[in-house]
Structure 1
Amino acid sequence: MDVRRRLTLLAVTIAATPLVLGGCTAEGRKAAERAARVAPPPAVELTPADRARDVPVSAEIGTSVAHGRVTGVRLTDDKGRQVPGEPREDGTSWVPGAPLAGGRTYTAEVTVTGDGGRTTTRTTTFSTAPKPTKPAITSTLYFTGNQTYGTAMPVTVAFDPGVPKEARAAVQKRLFVKTDPPQPGTWSWLEDGSQAYYRAPDFWRPGTKISVRAALEGLPIGTDLVGDAEHRATSKIGRQVSVDIDNATKQMSVFRDGKLVRRIPVSLGKPSTPSSSGKMVIMEKHERTTFDTRGEPDGGYVVDVDDAQRLTWGGEFIHSAPWSEGDQGYSNVSHGCANVSAAAADWLMGVTQVGDLVTVTGTEVPLRAGNGWTAWNVSWDEFAKGSALPVPAGLRPSPHTASPHPGAVAGGGSPAPTPSASGG
């Protein structure tokens, strides 16, 4: 074959290539157009319903979609101001970033893109209820912003009065937790509804940022109550520290990143006022505070203490007790607290954080559910059973014989989350 013939064949091949590619692209477009014609149009149902009145200020824009997905939501008030918000992870609704104003009118425009690429927009206009007159459940978020917490810190919301069992799912849906990096968990309720805890199966990783929103303002709770307020906080998790206290040896072992850093002699509660055994979390730290037990059983004293770290609502602390240093490491003489020397208490205050795990073993009484932040005093399986909503598949408890709810307390309910000043 001469050179001129080879060049001619090469030119024909190069010229033909774009024609073949162009044919494929055109065919692809035609296939997409056919699919769009065949696919059913997207459909969406919205809540609140159009022209609805007396809608709670906690309302979300519910979106039930067929043959498509929500690709845009715009919510504006009656003055044309846009309300920020974001969709739930499961796509069932769009959540305003703050409670709506009472006695106002809002319009939601929802855009849905169908399976074939077609879009449609639906609107709903509704009016919110004025300020509710029903009694409110007081909620308290025990998770403060701009703090550094220990790796066992549960997110805790307390309720007064307790949330009725039939209303807990609705309340739990309005409790939002985001972690960065992601470390999913679930909520768990005490039996009496007075507290709900959030944690993951394992301790938080150091450096994790946790953002919490308890969006309860105006939320209908059962038939007779409403939520009281909106709570928000973002904080981070610090270094890993844990404390083990063994009544058999009367020794406290302090660990940092899993390594033992110090042993400290302790004196725990005497037989008439024993310390609790269980997994607790440091709740408060005070350089100086006053224990006033007048009017309490086995109380009647007032004493100032230094370097006190609360473990329970009932008044068990780790604290400086120079008066019992001769007993520390040998015998129990306190009113339920963990007594340590003044020097050890001062050192410990510089090591621990609110949210660090404290495990006490070998005493006469078990820790009662709800007496402190007791989220870690049960296994993950037991904890997850306390959720009022289905637990995500990857977090579900393993199947086994049912056992008591983590909030179940033999002989009565859990103590109200009102701090007692007792100690000793």
Structure 2
Amino acid sequence: MGRFSRAGATVGALVLTASLALTGCGGGDEGKKPAFEPGQQQVGGVSASAPADPSAAPTGGAPAAALTVSPADGAASRPVSTEISARIPGGGTVSKVVLATADGTAVAGRMRRDGSSWVPSAALKYGTKYTVTVTGAGKDGQTYEGTSTFTTMAKPKSMIGSGLYLFSDKTYGVAMPVVAEFSPGIPKKDRAAVQKRMFVQTDPPQPGAWHWVDNGTQAYYRAPEYWKTGTTITVRLALAGIPLSNGRYGNIDRSATAKIGRAFEMTVDNATKRMTVSENGTVIRTLPVSLGKKSTPSSSGTMVVMEKKESTVFDTRSEPDPANRYVTEIDFAQRITWGGEYIHAAPWSEGVQGRRNVSHGCVNVSMADGRWLFGKTLVGDPITVKGTERRLAPGNGWTAWSLSWSEFVAGSALPVPEGGQPAPF
């Protein structure tokens, strides 16, 4: 297994392409995570919300004063990521928000679960005038109403891009994390604002959390345990127009709705040189394997199948060690790290599989087992490797499950309630 390093990211508008750059087990430059390509997904968004702020209740029998709306009446150059909030004298609950353009076109939206603000269902338009009317019920029993007209900013010139590694109408394995990627990375002081605009809903409901890695270039979302079979995951990175401290703005919202399939898990034990394959909790096959030799060990940890190629070519000629340079045709390749580790068929090592490690870091299986396994797996299926000389490096692949839950939530930019954050709406 060669060295692991991440590719520098230069981004256009990015949705993860179906094909990721391929290299062999040796890693090196060819084994790095691919840079963004045209046609991928993007980023942005800071909340303009403010929670209801109880103040002195109205006195006497006079009608209550109007509630205060944010953005304020006459506000200009508001981000298109703006949310609507209101302050009711004495406290209370917002019951209705009506937002429309000057020609009367209504804007759909939803109130956050905590009642702090109303979130438009899509980014607002640049350079556009909006009027909002908010109605609420005060603790004093009175009905309050407020109106505000504001204008959004012109489209900014400096943008930041992002990727969402999830596709609509696809079925994934139970360990599929929601992966958001940013280029350039999000500074620590901006991550809470960005995270507040990254919405994940699951059906059936399962709490979760975000975890930031790689200097803010990547964030994972997962639940405390693997997703339940049959779960629907709906994601919106509502980040268009988010103002960041580096002077850039998010350029577009991205969303996806995907399904989680059957529970399929692979566990590899270096001590026995065997892979145990389970489906829906039942062991269905045990396969002999050959892992990375001592000079190029396989990574120990829980990884996720990120890409599948029935036939490809591993090219590790950029490896610093001449002994690890080769060009080889490979069948039934399944990528599990950015650094070049795969599960794949290796007919040349079938004689030692189950007995000795001879690979450059990949999980070698026989041609027959490789074909069978390839036909069973989904992107997002977990593989746990135990007992090797190398520990899986954070960010070397979709490493969300290589951390305990307590370690994972420690990487959130916002507080996470015990057991995980509920859905935002």
TM-score (norm 1): 0.81
SS of equivalent residue, structure 2 residue 193: helix
5+ residue gaps in structure 2? 1-58
Report the Cα distance in structure 1 between the residues aligned to 2:399 and 2:72, rounded to whole angstroms: 42
The residue number in structure 1 matching 2:118 is 94
Structure 1 segments (4+ residues) deviating >6 Å: 36-40
Query: Any idea what the Cα deviations from partners look like across 1:61-91, whole Å, max 9, x if unmatched?
Result: 1233443211100110122100111111111
Counterpart of 2:334 in structure 1: which amino acid? Answer: Q
Q: Does 1:327 align with 2:363?
A: no
1:388 to 394, 408, 413: 413
Deviation, structure 1 residue 294: 2.2
Deviation, structure 1 residue 341: 0.8
254-263 vs 57-66, which deviates more? 57-66
Deviation, structure 1 residue 42: 7.5
Specify whether residues 282 and 38 from structure 1 end up closer, same or farther in structure 2 by C-alpha distance, changes over 3 A only: farther
Larger RCO (alpha carbons 8 Å, 6+ apart): 2
The residue number in structure 2 matching 1:58 is 81
2:341 to 310, 313, 316: 316
Higher normalized helix content (fraction of residues): 1
Which structure has the bigger radius of gyration? 1
Query: Any idea what the Cα deviations from partners look like across 1:101-155, whole Å, max 9, x if unmatched?
Result: 1111111111112234421221111111111122x22210011111111111111
Counterpart of 1:114 in structure 2: which amino acid? Answer: G
1:357 to 382, 387, 391: 382
Query: Quick one: percent identity of the two aligned structures?
Result: 56
SS of equivalent residue, structure 1 residue 372: coil
Deviation, structure 1 residue 349: 1.4
Report the Cα distance in structure 2 between the residues aligned to 1:101 and 1:81, rounded to whole angstroms: 12
1:289 to 281, 300, 312: 312
2:329 to 294, 299, 304: 304
1:229 to 234, 245, 252: 252
Specify whether residues 171 and 39 from structure 1 end up closer, same or farther in structure 2 by C-alpha distance, changes over 3 A only: farther
Query: Any idea what the Cα deviations from partners look like across 1:367-390, whole Å, max 9, x if unmatched?
Result: 000111111111111111111011
Q: Does 1:144 align with 2:180?
A: no
Report the Cα distance in structure 1 between the residues aligned to 2:123 and 2:313, rounded to whole angstroms: 40
The residue number in structure 1 matching 2:67 is 44
Does structure 2 conserve the Cα–Cα contact (< 8 Å) formed by 1:241 and 1:255? yes
The residue number in structure 1 matching 2:38 is none
Specify whether residues 301 and 110 from structure 1 end up closer, same or farther in structure 2 by C-alpha distance, changes over 3 A only: same
Specify whether residues 172 and 39 from structure 1 end up closer, same or farther in structure 2 by C-alpha distance, changes over 3 A only: farther
Q: Does 1:69 align with 2:93?
A: yes
SS of equivalent residue, structure 1 residue 221: coil
The residue number in structure 2 matching 1:203 is 226
Q: Once superposed, what is the RMSD of the aligned Cα atoms?
A: 1.9
Deviation, structure 1 residue 171: 0.5
Q: Does 1:259 align with 2:288?
A: no
1:84 to 95, 108, 116: 108
Specify whether residues 394 and 311 from structure 1 end up closer, same or farther in structure 2 by C-alpha distance, changes over 3 A only: closer
SS of equivalent residue, structure 1 residue 330: coil
TM-score (norm 2): 0.81
5+ residue gaps in structure 1? 1-35, 397-424
Report the Cα distance in structure 1 between the residues aligned to 2:419 and 2:65, rounded to whole angstroms: 31
Q: Does 1:246 align with 2:302?
A: no
